[in-house]
Chains A and B, each alone.
Chain A
Amino acid sequence: MARFKLRYLKFFLVISACLALLFFNPFNISEGLRFLFFKVAYPFQKTFYFLSSKSEEAVEFWSSISSLDSENERLLKENNRLAKELALFKDVKIENESLRKQLELAPRDKFQLEAAFVIAKEQRGVGDWIMIDKGSDFSLMPGMPVVVDDGILVGQIKEVYANSSRVRLISDPDSVVNVLDVESGAKGIVKGEYGLGILLDLVEQNEAIKSGDMLATSGLGGQFPEGLLVGKITEIKSSKDKLFQQAIVTPQVRWNDLEAVFAIKK
């Protein structure tokens, strides 16, 4: 009987200790443990992530093998169409550069970037995040914005370890980015929604925003540099009884296809 009681007492003591850790986390114990753990886990994380991308590619390849003939024909047609479009886009590029200057958006080559590969990602548990294979060894620091190569915002570094970092995606519920509508100049914030993508909020009622407008970082608050593309408005959630307009935003980045990213160091 005494042994039985002791057994339960031990169980409750351990559960209580875990709950205390969970609610109070004294001395921020988790950070030290994580730093050690990720140092050891890094090569394995990298290998497993590489294998997962290769598996995904292999599955896609084998599932598309039956439609290769028709796919080839379609690609030839598309190639011709794209060649025509390319000629057109050369003009658009010049126009775009001039517009970027007028709107004071950031030229995409002004940042000091650090290239990194994604080694893990999560879009369901504790927020939306990815892990990249660079950390404090490469002078990365929490708060640095992370983009894909053409200046599209992915998120912000939240925690840095020796050779890896955790990046909070802009679709994370805790993420808030100051943005402006590139077409109308309306200002607002973009925030993550629980499993629902991202939402444009705090846009004044008198501002004219419309579906299809592109959003870029406004540089307000100093968290992100000005001019990084965030996404495109897909649906306006306007209501006259609300103080501000809201809109659903489709991010410019496809989270599932993320492989290489760049951290903006300066």
Chain B
Amino acid sequence: MRKRLAIWLIIFFLAIFTQSFWLSLFPWMLESSLILVFLLFFFIFSQVEERCLFKIFLGSGILVDILFFYPIGFHAVSFLLTFALLSFFSEKIFSVQKENPVLSGLVLVIVASFFEQCAELLLGRILHIFGKDSLVRIGAGEMIGNLLFVAGAFLILYPLFRKISEKLSFKNPTLTIKK
């Protein structure tokens, strides 16, 4: 219970940190980037069962939507689609990750972030077709900048986030992802 609370507190503070600190310094950055990096660390390095990870991805998406004034569900959907992609390749991810955790983690973070950005763009376009405001305004330059940021953040935060993810993993005998 304590570990779950700690995970939610970290996500909560990361979201506020992104909104009030990070975006003031780097306004071109995507709101979801830093939280997604943490979620990906947690996906790779924690021993948490899949359905708990699912809830964490869903909750984080809703949190981003609330804090950044997106309609609720927008980031929840893009995060869940990213989670689905990761789950689909989870066995492959974990087998490669054992051999070279930094490099494989880096590739995974870049691919997952790219996928999440595409999901956001696609959802934004669909909403626009249905008469809602175009929610995502990112061009190719911003996308590349954001991927570079995500890669940099992964490398800088690797020791810290890995330790946090490992410390906060709550082991469960009914693991659905076998590592």
Contacts and interface: CB of A to CB of B under 8 A. Distances in A.
A55 B26 CA distance: 12
B95 interface: no
Contact of A11 (B24, B74, B80): B80
B28 interface: yes
A195 interface: yes
B19 A18 contact: no
Interface string A112-132: 000000011111111101000
B166 interface: no
A61 interface: no
Contacts of A45: 16, 19-20
A235 B71 CA distance: 36
Contacts of A51: 21
Given A52-B24, A125-B136, 18 more contacts: A14-B54, A18-B58, A18-B77, A34-B69, A48-B17, A51-B21, A52-B20, A55-B21, A55-B25, A56-B24, A56-B25, A122-B68, A122-B69, A124-B27, A124-B138, A124-B142, A125-B31, A195-B137
A25 B19 contact: no
Contacts of A46: 20
B23 interface: yes
Interface string A19-62: 11111010001100110010001001111110111011000000
Interface in B1-42: 12-13, 16-17, 19-25, 27-29, 31
- List 10 A-B pairs, minimum CB-CB distance, nearest first: A22-B73, A48-B20, A21-B73, A18-B73, A52-B24, A48-B21, A49-B20, A52-B21, A45-B20, A18-B76
B25 A21 contact: no
A49 B25 CA distance: 10
B25 A52 contact: yes
Given A29-B72, A33-B66, A49 B27 contact: no
A22 B62 CA distance: 11
Contacts of B27: 121-124, 256
Given A11-B84, A21-B73, A49 B24 contact: yes
Nearest to B139: A195
Contacts of A11: 54, 80, 84
Nearest to A35: B66
A51 B58 CA distance: 29
A5 to B, nearest CB: 14
Given A22-B77, A25-B72, A30-B66, A124 B133 contact: no
Given A18-B80, A48-B16, A127-B133, A121 B24 contact: yes
Contacts of A120: 19-20, 23-24
B12 to A, nearest CB: 8
B74 A119 contact: no
Interface in A75-131: 119-127, 129
A256 B13 CA distance: 23
Contacts of B133: 126-127, 173-174
Contacts of B58: 14, 18
A49 to B, nearest CB: 4
A122 to B, nearest CB: 6
A256 B27 CA distance: 9
A15 interface: yes
A138 interface: no
A126 B138 CA distance: 11
B71 A22 contact: yes
17 contacts: A14-B80, A15-B81, A30-B71, A30-B72, A45-B16, A49-B21, A52-B25, A55-B21, A119-B20, A122-B19, A123-B27, A124-B29, A125-B69, A125-B135, A125-B137, A126-B68, A126-B133
B127 interface: yes
